[in-house]
Amino acid sequence: MAFDYPSDLKYLDSHEYARVEADKETVTIGITSFAVDQMGDVVFLELPEVGDSVEIGENYGTNESVKAVEDLKAPVSGEVLEINAALVETPEDISPDAAYEGGWLIKVKAANLSDLDQAMSAADYQQQVEGE
């Protein structure tokens, strides 16, 4: 399967992505299409509450599939503005095809966008994934 690596995103080696939105302070976070494909069917998703704080590099939730339970790591520090409640209700809707659109998990008001300086570019992430 060929995976998408949108160039406007930043990537973590733990297979999360971050998209800086037009307001330059909201960051949409999700898991990459590669990660979704590797996990198989997602059966349970645990996300923080709106208003919670997340810290860069720290766990903010879990993603349970038929194969494993994975911790979700935050690419930025900040306050949770929104969670994808539809996916919490029906986590099986997470698919490689929708990972970057309807498959987002949380939206965070970033405390400092320079947190993303530590993340990988699309080209670097693609090399990591396809080199595995």
pLDDT tens per residue, range 67-92: 899 999 999 999 999 999 999 999 99
Closest CA to 77 of 49, 48, 105, 54: 54
Half-sphere exposure of 114 (CA within 13 A, CB side): 0
User: Rounded to an integer, what is the distance from CA 32 to the centroid of its chain?
Assistant: 6
Query: Per the structure block, which two tokens stand in for 128?
Result: 């990591």
User: Rounded to an integer, what is the distance from CA 125 to the centroid of its chain?
Assistant: 13
Per-residue pLDDT of the chain (132 residues; tens, 9 = 90+): 678 899 999 999 999 999 999 999 999 999 999 999 999 889 999 999 999 999 999 999 999 998 899 999 999 999 999 999 999 999 999 888 889 988 999 999 999 999 999 999 999 999 999 985
Provide the whole-model pTM.
0.94
Query: Per the structure block, which two tokens stand in for 14?
Result: 């733990």
